[in-house]
C-alpha cells in the first residue's frame, strides 16, 4: 500500500526514469540501437550508442537534461534494444530506423524522394539511353544524380540531339518496322530499322559515355577535327551535323560546367538556421558538371544546432543512395569520423567529409550556403503569409486558437456510380500532400448519389480510425503521423454540415470546429456562403483574402475528388468481364478477344465455338459459357 501511494506522487519524469531503470539490469555494455516507446507503443526516439548501458543510464538523471529530453523520458513506457558488433553498424541501423519509423523526437529528413539518373544500358546489343529512378536493378552505367526530373529531362532533350541514341523500350525496338518520330526530329539514329551500322552506333555510345564521364573537352576537339575534315572534303551535310552537335555540347556545358580542378565527384551540403528552422541545401557535382541542387527542411527542435542536424541529415540522406567520394559541409557534423567510416563501409569506397577553407572549393561551399539562406528566407516569408491567413480563418470561425491543421472533405460521382470521398490537408506550410486521403464508398445500403450519406460514411471512417489510433491526441499515429484537425471544412451547404454534426455527436467529438462552404447563387465563385453550427449562413466580401484562401482549399479538394473519381471510372472502363472468370489469364484473354473481336463476342459465342479457340480446353470453354449464361 505504501509503495502504491509513493508511485502516485512520482513526477512524470521520475515515472519514465523508473521504467528505463528496469531495463538496465540486463543491458549489455556493447554497441547497439535503442528505441523509446510511449503508452501506445509508438516510437518516441531512436538512438545509437557505443555502450548501450552507459548511454541509457544517462536518461535516468534529472540534472543537466534539456527540456526536450525531459519530455521524452516522461512519455517513455517501454524500450527496445538491438545489439550490433560495432558502433558503425549501430549508426547505419539508427539512420535506417529513423527514416522508417519517423520518431517524434528525432531529427527527420522529411523529403526523401529518390533522385533521377541518366542510364546507358548494357544488356542489349543496341544500348538504350533513358531516365532512371529507383534501385539499380538494370545493367548499365548510371550518371548522376540529378537534382530533379526537370533537370534530367532538359539534359536528355539536349543530349539526344548531341548523341542520337535510342530511348525506346526493348519491346518497342524489336517490333518497329519504320523509324519513329524521334528519328524524324534527329534525336535517334533509328538502329531499329538499320539506319545506322552497329559499329557507328557503338562510336556514338562511347562518345556519350565520355561526355557524361567528364571528358567533354577531349570529345569537343575530336568533333571539331572531324567537322574540319568533312568541310575540307566538301561534305558540308556531315559538317553541318557535327556543327550542331558541337553547339548542343556547348549549350550543356554553359549551364553545368564549373571550375573545380581535380574533383571528380562531390556533394556540397550547406545548412542555414534562422527562427528555429533549418534549410539544408545539397548540390551535386559530377565529372566537373553541376547537376543541380535541392533544398531540404528537416524537422527538429530549437535546441539542435547545425552540427547535430547535419549529422542526422547525412546519415539518413545516404541510407538508400550511394555517397560520392567527397562531401563538403558547411558545419562539421558531430562524430564526423564515425559518420565517414559508416558511409565508406556502406559505399565500399573511401568517403571524405571536409569543410573547404580556400579557393574554388570554398567559393562553391559559400554559394551553397547563400542558396540555403535564400531558400529559408523565402520559405519563412511564405509561411508568414500562410500563418496570417490561418489566423484570419481562426477569427472568422471564432476558434480559440489559430488552426494548425485544416481538413477539407468532398465527394464525387456520376449518377451515383463510382462514388468516392476525398480529404485534403492544409497547415502553416501550405498543402500537406502526404495527408491527402481518398475513400471508396463501401456502404451497399446507401442510395446511389446520396451526398449526405457519403459524407457521413467518409467522416465516420476517418474519425473512428483516428480515435482508435490516437485516442489521446498526442499528434502521431502508427506510422502515418496523422494529426487531429483543428477545423473540418466540408464542401457543401447545410445538409453536408448536418451530416458532419451527426457523425461528431455519435463519436463524441467536441473539440474540432466544423464549417461548410457552398457556392452562392448560380454557383458563382466569390459569392460563397459559409455554414457554422448554431449561426445563420454568411458570406465574405468578394476581394477578401480569407475568402480567396478558403476558395483555394475548396478548389483543391474538389480537384482531388474529381481526379480520384476519374481514375476509378477509367479503371472500371478498362476492366473486362473476362477478368472475373477463373482460369482466364492474359494469354487466353488475348486469344479469346482475337478470335471473337470483343468481350461481347465471347459472351454471345456458342459452346462449340469457344472450344475452337487455341489454348481453351473443353472444361474451360464450359466454364466461360456458364459464366455468361448462368441466369438462363
Q: Whole-prediction pTM value?
A: 0.66
Q: What is the pLDDT of residues 425-458, one digit of tens each?
A: 999 888 888 889 988 887 777 777 788 888 999 9
Label residue 574 by pLDDT band (50, 70, 90): low
Using the CB atoms, write b or e for 292-319: b if 16+ within 10 Å.
bbbbbbbebeeebebbbbbbbbbbbbbb
**pLDDT above 70 (res 572):** no
Give the separation between CA 168 and CA 553, rounded to whole angstroms. 40
Looking at residue 59, the DSSP 8-state letter turns out to be G
Query: Could you read off the pLDDT of 357-394 as tens digits, one per residue?
Result: 988 889 999 999 999 999 998 888 888 888 899 999 99
What's the pLDDT score for residue 631? 40
Residue 3 has pLDDT above 80, yes or no: no
Q: Taking 70 as the threshold, does the pLDDT of residue 515 lie above it? A: yes
- Residue 116 per-residue DSSP state: P
Rounded to whole angstroms, the Cα distance separating 429 from 361 reads: 34
Question: In Å, what is the CA distance from 167 to each residue of 150, 203, 213, 249, 251?
Answer: 17, 17, 19, 19, 21
Query: Distance (Å, rounded) from C-alpha 59 to C-alpha 81?
Result: 15
Backbone angles phi, psi at 7, to 5 degrees: -60, -35
For residue 476, count other CB atoms closer than 10 A to its CB: 19
SS3 367: helix
* 586, three cell numbers: 492474359
Looking at residue 9, what is its pLDDT? 67
Burial profile 481-490: b = 16 or more Cβ within 10 angstroms, e = fewer: bbbbbbbbbb
H helices of 32-144, where? Answer: 52-57, 67-75, 87-101
Q: Is the pLDDT of residue 8 over 90?
A: no
Task: Please check the confidence at residue 6 and state whether its pLDDT lies above 50.
Answer: no
pLDDT tens, position by position, 321-332: 889 999 999 999
d(CA 579, CA 514): 44
Among 228-237, 300-309, 481-490, 585-594, name the most confident range: 300-309
Report the pLDDT value the prediction gives residue 329, as an integer from 0 to 100: 96
**Res 497 pLDDT > 60:** yes
Mind listing the domains of the chain with CATH numbers? 2-101 (3.40.1440.10), 117-256 (no CATH), 265-378 (3.30.420.340), 406-572 (3.30.420.340), 577-628 (1.10.150.20)
Query: Angle at the Cα of 82 (from 77 to 84), degrees rounded to 5?
Result: 150
Cα(first)–Cα(last) distance of the chain, in Å? 77
Looking at residue 1, what is its pLDDT? 37
- Please give the average per-residue pLDDT across 258-280, as a whole number: 83
Of residues 221 and 575, the one with the higher pLDDT is 221
Between CA 485 and CA 419 the distance in angstroms is 24
Q: CA angle, corner 33, sides to 32 and 34, nearest 5?
A: 125
Q: Length of the chain, please?
A: 632
Amino acid at each position: 500500500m505504501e509503495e502504491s501511494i509513493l508511485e502516485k506522487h512520482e513526477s512524470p519524469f521520475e515515472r519514465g526514469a523508473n521504467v528505463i531503470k528496469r531495463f538496465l539490469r540486463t543491458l549489455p555494455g556493447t554497441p547497439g540501437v535503442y528505441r523509446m516507446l510511449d503508452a501506445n507503443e509508438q516510437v518516441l526516439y531512436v538512438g545509437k550508442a557505443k555502450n548501450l548501458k552507459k548511454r541509457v543510464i544517462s536518461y535516468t538523471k534529472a540534472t543537466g537534461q534539456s527540456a526536450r529530453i525531459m519530455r521524452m523520458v516522461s512519455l517513455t513506457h517501454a524500450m527496445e534494444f538491438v545489439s550490433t558488433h560495432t558502433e558503425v553498424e549501430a549508426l547505419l541501423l539508427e539512420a535506417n530506423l529513423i527514416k522508417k519509423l519517423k520518431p517524434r523526437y528525432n531529427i527527420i529528413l522529411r523529403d526523401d524522394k529518390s533522385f533521377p539518373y541518366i542510364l546507358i544500358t548494357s544488356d542489349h546489343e543496341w544500348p538504350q539511353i533513358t531516365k532512371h529512378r529507383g534501385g539499380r536493378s538494370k545493367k548499365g552505367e548510371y550518371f548522376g544524380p540529378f537534382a530533379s526530373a526537370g533537370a534530367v529531362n532538359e539534359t536528355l532533350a539536349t543530349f539526344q540531339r548531341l548523341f542520337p541514341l535510342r530511348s525506346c523500350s526493348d519491346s518497342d525496338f524489336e517490333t518497329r518496322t519504320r523509324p519513329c518520330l524521334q528519328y524524324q526530329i534527329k534525336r535517334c539514329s533509328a538502329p531499329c530499322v538499320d539506319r545506322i551500322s552497329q559499329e557507328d552506333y557503338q562510336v556514338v555510345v562511347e562518345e556519350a559515355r565520355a561526355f557524361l564521364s567528364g571528358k567533354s573537352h577531349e570529345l569537343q576537339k575530336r568533333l571539331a577535327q572531324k567537322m574540319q575534315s568533312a568541310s575540307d572534303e566538301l561534305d558540308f551535310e556531315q559538317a553541318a551535323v557535327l556543327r550542331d552537335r558541337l553547339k548542343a555540347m556547348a549549350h550543356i556545358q554553359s549551364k553545368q560546367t564549373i571550375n573545380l580542378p581535380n574533383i571528380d565527384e562531390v556533394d556540397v551540403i550547406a545548412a542555414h538556421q534562422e527562427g528555429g528552422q533549418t534549410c539544408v541545401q545539397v548540390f551535386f557535382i559530377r565529372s566537373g558538371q553541376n547537376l543541380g541542387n535541392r533544398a531540404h527542411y528537416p524537422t527538429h527542435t530549437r535546441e539542435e544546432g547545425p552540427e547535430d542536424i547535419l549529422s542526422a541529415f547525412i546519415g539518413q540522406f545516404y541510407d538508400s543512395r550511394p555517397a560520392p567520394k567527397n562531401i563538403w559541409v558547411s558545419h562539421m557534423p558531430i562524430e564526423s569520423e564515425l559518420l565517414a567510416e559508416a558511409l565508406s563501409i556502406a559505399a565500399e569506397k573511401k568517403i571524405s567529409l571536409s569543410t573547404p577553407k580556400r579557393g574554388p572549393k570554398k567559393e562553391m561551399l559559400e554559394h551553397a550556403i547563400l542558396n540555403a539562406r535564400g531558400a529559408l528566407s523565402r520559405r519563412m516569408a511564405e509561411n508568414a503569409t500562410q500563418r496570417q491567413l490561418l489566423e484570419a480563418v481562426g477569427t472568422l470561425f471564432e476558434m480559440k486558437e489559430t488552426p494548425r491543421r485544416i481538413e477539407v472533405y468532398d465527394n464525387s460521382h456520376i449518377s451515383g456510380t463510382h462514388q468516392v470521398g476525398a480529404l485534403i490537408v492544409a497547415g502553416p506550410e501550405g498543402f500537406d500532400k502526404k495527408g491527402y486521403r481518398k475513400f471508396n464508398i463501401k456502404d451497399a445500403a446507401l442510395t446511389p448519389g446520396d451526398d449526405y450519406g457519403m459524407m457521413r460514411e467518409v467522416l465516420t471512417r476517418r474519425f473512428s480510425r483516428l480515435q482508435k489510433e490516437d485516442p489521446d491526441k498526442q499528434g502521431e499515429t502508427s506510422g502515418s503521423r496523422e494529426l487531429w484537425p483543428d477545423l473540418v471544412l466540408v464542401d457543401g451547404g447545410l445538409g453536408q454540415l448536418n451530416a458532419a454534426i451527426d457523425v461528431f455527436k455519435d463519436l463524441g467529438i467536441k473539440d474540432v470546429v466544423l464549417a461548410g462552404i457552398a457556392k452562392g447563387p448560380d454557383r458563382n465563385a466569390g459569392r460563397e456562403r459559409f455554414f457554422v453550427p448554431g449561426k445563420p449562413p454568411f458570406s465574405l466580401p468578394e476581394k477578401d483574402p480569407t475568402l480567396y484562401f478558403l476558395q483555394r482549399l475548396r478548389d483543391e479538394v474538389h480537384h482531388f475528388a474529381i481526379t480520384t473519381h476519374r481514375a476509378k471510372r477509367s479503371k472500371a472502363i478498362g476492366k473486362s468481364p473476362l477478368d472475373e472468370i477463373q482460369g482466364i489469364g492474359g494469354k487466353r484473354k488475348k486469344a479469346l478477344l482475337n478470335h471473337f473481336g470483343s468481350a461481347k463476342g465471347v459472351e454471345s459465342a456458342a459452346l462449340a465455338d469457344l472450344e475452337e479457340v487455341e489454348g481453351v480446353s473443353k472444361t474451360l470453354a464450359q466454364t466461360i459459357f456458364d459464366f455468361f449464361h448462368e441466369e438462363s
